[in-house]
């Protein structure tokens, strides 16, 4: 397509001065014991109730924090930054050649480099785990472009803005600048993207195309030809449209509600006029059902298990 268009209660009474008890007093003391123990038992019971309430309140607070992002603010400082080996981040102005990439465990000297942009509700450390999984699966060096999380609700709002190509998303800027600079320097670049990461990549590719056309004055054919240096693999992406030029492979789990509802859909794009995976794209639809639909969207445990080498996928062969 053309993108122009959370106080405990006391458990026993405080003791006073001790007294000697005579045998005559013993029955009285024995009779008083149950009386004294009743307030203690009630206090202990109240304490347990308070503790249970406190625990439930804490769990509720944690859930709200996860939804609205109260505990995710520190991740925002990494938004749009490169993520390299050891979970270290680098400013987006850093040359790719200066970033130590994550390498396969069995091959620290891998040559090919791929870039990966994550989806929603993913912290920097979580993305770092994904980078290692990608490296071990593809045999390539991997550098991340971090799409920071501010909690599920805020992330979803950002997705809507990305869909409409509105608002500022630092990850979009970094992806776009990276792709533009690499192809203008005559270098090939390989992108992997999951969930919102696919939406970010789609938006960034549109920005690259417009820069080539408007800033560089390139014609449509020349701009698309130069963008042919870009290879893109998306996994459960939330984008429905991609600009022509790059080489695309899209992976869609039919049991995953994200691409089914907001992305490439559960059927071939040729049957859906609202969907365009990019000219010459290859889309692999598969079935990997989980009782929890969110589990069907998981990157490492679902999508990476269905990936095949890029050239093989481009040839339409998804046999593993």
- Are 262 and 164 spatial neighbours (Cβ–Cβ below 8 Å)? no
Q: Does domain 73-314 have CATH number 1.20.140?
A: no
Task: Report the alpha-carbon distance of residue 151 to residue 296 in Å, rounded.
Answer: 20
Name which of 62-71, 92-101, 164-173 the model is least confident about. 62-71
Task: Report the alpha-carbon distance of residue 84 to residue 259 in Å, rounded.
Answer: 28
User: Whole-number mean pLDDT of the chain?
Assistant: 82
Evaluate if residue 55 carries a pLDDT over 80: no
The neighbouring-strand residues paired with 194 are 235
pTM of the full structure: 0.77
pLDDT at 267: 83
Q: Tokens 């991997």 correspond to what residue?
A: 142
Q: pLDDT for 207-249, tens place per residue?
A: 999 999 999 999 999 999 999 999 999 999 999 999 999 999 9
At residue 250, φ and ψ (nearest 5 deg) are: -115, 130
Q: pLDDT for 254-303, tens place per residue?
A: 999 999 999 999 887 677 888 999 999 999 999 999 999 999 999 999 99
Percent of the chain topping pLDDT 90: 67
Mean pLDDT of 65-82: 71
pLDDT band at 156 (very low <50, low <70, confident <90, very high): low
Evaluate if residue 106 carries a pLDDT over 80: yes
pLDDT at 56: 43
Mean pLDDT of 29-35: 42
pLDDT band at 4 (very low <50, low <70, confident <90, very high): low
pLDDT at 75: 93
Contacts of 122 (CB under 8 A, 6+ apart): 130, 147, 149
pLDDT at 144: 98
Evaluate if residue 61 carries a pLDDT over 80: no
Which carries the bigger pLDDT value, residue 243 or residue 150?
243
Range from 14-18, 126-130, 260-264 that averages highest in pLDDT? 126-130
Which carries the bigger pLDDT value, residue 172 or residue 71?
172
Mean pLDDT of 24-38: 43
Q: Tokens 């122009």 correspond to what residue?
A: 4
pLDDT at 167: 74
Structure tokens at 101: 């990439």
pLDDT at 154: 72
Mean pLDDT of 125-130: 97
Percent of the chain topping pLDDT 70: 74
What's the Cα-to-Cα distance from 299 to each of 60, 155, 267, rounded to whole Å? Answer: 27, 17, 20
pLDDT at 151: 75
Evaluate if residue 9 carries a pLDDT over 50: no
pLDDT at 164: 62
Evaluate if residue 2 carries a pLDDT over 70: no
**Concatenated DSSP letters for the chain?**
--TT---PPPSSPPP-------TTTHHHHHHHHHHHHHHHHHHHHHHHHHHHHHHHHHHHHHHHHHHH-TT-GGGGGGTT-EE-GGG-EE-TTS-GGGS--B--TT-TT---EEEEE--SS--HHHHHHHHHHHHHHH-SEEEEE----S-HHHHHHHHHHHHTT-S--HHHHHHHHHHHHHHHTT--EEEEEETHHHHHHHHHHHHHHHIIIIIS---HHHHHHHHTTEEEEEES-S-SB--SSSEEEEEEETT-HHHHHHSS-SS-GGG-TT-B--TT-EEEEE----SSTTGGG-IIIIIGGG---HHHHHTT----
Of the candidates 178, 163, 208, the one whose C-alpha atom is nearest the C-alpha of residue 117 is 178
Tell which phi-psi region holds residue 249, choosing left (phi > 0), alpha (psi between -120 and 50) or beta: beta
Which carries the bigger pLDDT value, residue 131 or residue 13?
131
């Amino acid at each position: 397509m053309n993108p122009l268009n959370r106080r405990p209660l006391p458990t026993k009474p405080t003791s006073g001065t001790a007294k000697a008890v005579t045998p005559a007093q013993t029955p009285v003391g024995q009779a008083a014991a149950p009386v004294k123990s009743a307030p203690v038992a009630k206090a202990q019971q109240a304490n347990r109730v308070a503790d249970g309430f406190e625990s439930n309140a804490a769990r509720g607070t944690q859930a709200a924090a996860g939804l609205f992002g109260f505990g995710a603010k520190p991740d925002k400082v990494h938004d749009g930054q490169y993520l390299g080996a050891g979970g270290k981040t680098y400013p987006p102005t850093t040359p790719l050649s200066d970033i130590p990439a994550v390498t396969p465990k069995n091959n620290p000297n891998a040559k090919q480099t791929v870039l990966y942009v994550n989806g929603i509700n993913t912290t920097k450390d979580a993305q770092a785990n994904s980078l290692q999984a990608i490296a071990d699966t593809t045999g390539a060096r991997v550098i991340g472009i971090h799409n920071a999380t501010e909690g599920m609700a805020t992330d979803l709002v950002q997705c809507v803005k990305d869909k409409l190509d509105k608002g500022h998303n630092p990850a979009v800027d970094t992806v776009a600048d990276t792709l533009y600079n690499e192809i203008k320097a005559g270098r090939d670049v390989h992108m992997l993207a999951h969930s919102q990461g696919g939406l970010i990549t789609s938006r960034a590719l549109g920005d690259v195309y417009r820069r080539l056309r408007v800033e560089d004055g390139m014609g449509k054919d020349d701009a698309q030809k130069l963008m042919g240096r870009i290879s893109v693999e998306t996994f459960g992406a939330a984008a429905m449209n991609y600009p022509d030029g790059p080489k695309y492979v899209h992976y869609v789990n039919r049991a995953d509600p994200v691409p089914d509802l907001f992305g490439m859909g559960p059927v071939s794009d040729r049957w859906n006029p609202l969907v365009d995976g990019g000219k010459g794209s290859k889309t692999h639809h598969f079935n990997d059902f989980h009782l929890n639909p969110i589990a069907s969207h998981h990157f490492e445990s679902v999508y990476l298990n269905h990936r095949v080498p890029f050239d093989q996928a481009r040839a339409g062969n998804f046999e593993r």
